[in-house]
Every structure is written in structure tokens, then in C-alpha cells.
A = this chain, B = another copy of it.
Amino acid sequence: MLNERSLSPQQDCEDCPIRHRAVCARCETDELRKLEEIKFYRRFEAGSHVIWCGDRMDFVGSVISGIGTLTQTLEDGRTQMVGLLLPSDFIGRPGRDEAAYDVIATTDLVMCCFRKKPFESMLAKTPHIAHRLLEMTLDELDAARDWMIVLGRKSAREKIASLLSIIARRDASLHMRRIEGPLAFDLPLTREAMADYLGLTLETVSRQISALKRDGVIELEGKRHVTVPDMARLMEEAGDDADGGMLV
């Protein structure tokens, strides 16, 4: 594991968003206190691999801060991102030894981890947490399936709008903001990473971002700082019905 080191013990679940709390917190129930004893923190530098596909995974954990990606690569080098890892997201699969995908930190990334063995034996004794984990896995499955319609049926412009819409909403909920009025956030991904997520080339991503800017759907400050003046407009561009759908 690259660039790993312990963080100060002061950091605890107070800074974990809701979903993270479910597996990390010392809150809610006495049972969860047990987790405190096997919990530790890891930091990964931007660009480093959290885990390589096929490697043995000896920990599970959730993201405290920073952004990561789950990616898959064909022999000829084509790559497809299969998931974004945003604060509060969980990785690690009880019962599996090998990682199914590369997990890469795209920004500096701090994770709250548990060694796999003790986590699993704790799971077996704590149905409440096991149930929570099943729910989280079902959420991920929904998100993965929702992404399929983006990959399979949406145009390049709609794909970009979908991605921006997801990032904007996740960012807003992280900061406990309502999604009315203008939203501003930093793109945590390069154009190339966006392309890998959307099944496009980086040139097409760049062109479509320019087009959305030209059409006033978004505003850009530098390459990465985005302002969305009208979230409803963006979601319309994404091709979703404005109320429902689109997890992650």
C-alpha cells in the first residue's frame, strides 16, 4: 500500500457523513462501539492506487475526504470507470479476497478502514450492521444500473450533463446545501477521467463542456471550477425526469 500513514486519533465519526456513520461511527448503538477498537485511518496521495485489481484486499472502509475511482481495463488499454468513490462511499466486500477493480485516488484521499477479518467476524455477530451493509450494496447496485442507461442510451451532451448533475448533487448534500439556486463546485476529475466514466474520448468531453458553457447551462472559472446557475436546466439537459431517478 502506497503512502499510507496513521492519522491522529482525534479524527472520528464526527466528520463522517451519514452513510459512513453506519459502519464507522461510535454513535447510535452500543454494538457499534466494537468497531472503534478495530478502526484506523489511511491516507492516499492523489494519483496513487488504493488497491490493484486482483490484489488481495485485507481491509474494508469508507471515504472520509477526497475522491477515488473504480476502474476496469481491457488488455488493449481501453478503460472504463465503473464507479466513483465520493466521501461516505464504502469499499470492500465481505467474503471476497481479491479486488475486482483498480481503486485509484484522484485527489488526496482519506479513508476510515477496518481490517477485513475482525470486521467480518463482527458482522457475523451484529446482524444490524450486516443488514445496513446489504442496504448499501443494494444502493450501489441501483446506482450501477442507473449508470447503464447513461452509457448505453445517452448522447455525449446528455452524458456530460448527467455527470455534472451527479457531482453537483453529491457535493451539495455533502455540504448540507439545498439544490435550489446556483450551485458551485470543483470538478474532481480530469477530462480524461470523465471520458473514462462516460465512455467517451477526452476531446468529446472537452467539446461538450465548451458547448454547455456556450449555451449558458454552466459557467466555468479556470478549467475545474463549475457554477450551475439553474440545476433544473442541467437535469433537463441530462435527460432525466427532474424529480426522480439518478442515484450515486
Bound-complex Cα distance A82 to B247 (A): 15
- A153 and B83 contact, CB distance less than 8 A: no
Chain B, Cβ-Cβ closest to A199: B152
Chain B residue contacts of A241, Cβ below 8 A: 75
Bound-complex Cα distance A72 to B83 (A): 19
Quickly give the copy total for this chain: 2
Chain B CB within 8 A of A105 CB: no
Q: Which of B83, B127, B141, B198 contacts A130 (CB 8 A)?
A: B127
Interface residue ranges of A152-187 to B (CB < 8 Å): 152-153
Q: Given A100-B145, A152-B199, answer yes or no on A134-B74 (Cβ-Cβ < 8 Å).
A: no
Chain B CB within 8 A of A202 CB: no
Chain B CB within 8 A of A147 CB: yes
- B95 and A148 contact, CB distance less than 8 A: no
Chain A positions 115 through 139: 1 when the CB is less than 8 Å from some CB of chain B, otherwise 0? 0000000001001001101110110
Chain B CB within 8 A of A142 CB: yes
Bound-complex Cα distance A76 to B238 (A): 13
Chain B CB within 8 A of A35 CB: no
Chain A positions 22 through 49: 1 when the CB is less than 8 Å from some CB of chain B, otherwise 0? 0000000000000000000000000000
* Given A127-B127, A144-B144, A148-B151, 16 new contacts (CB under 8 A): A72-B145, A74-B153, A74-B239, A75-B241, A80-B153, A82-B148, A93-B138, A95-B134, A95-B135, A100-B142, A127-B130, A130-B131, A137-B137, A144-B145, A147-B148, A152-B198
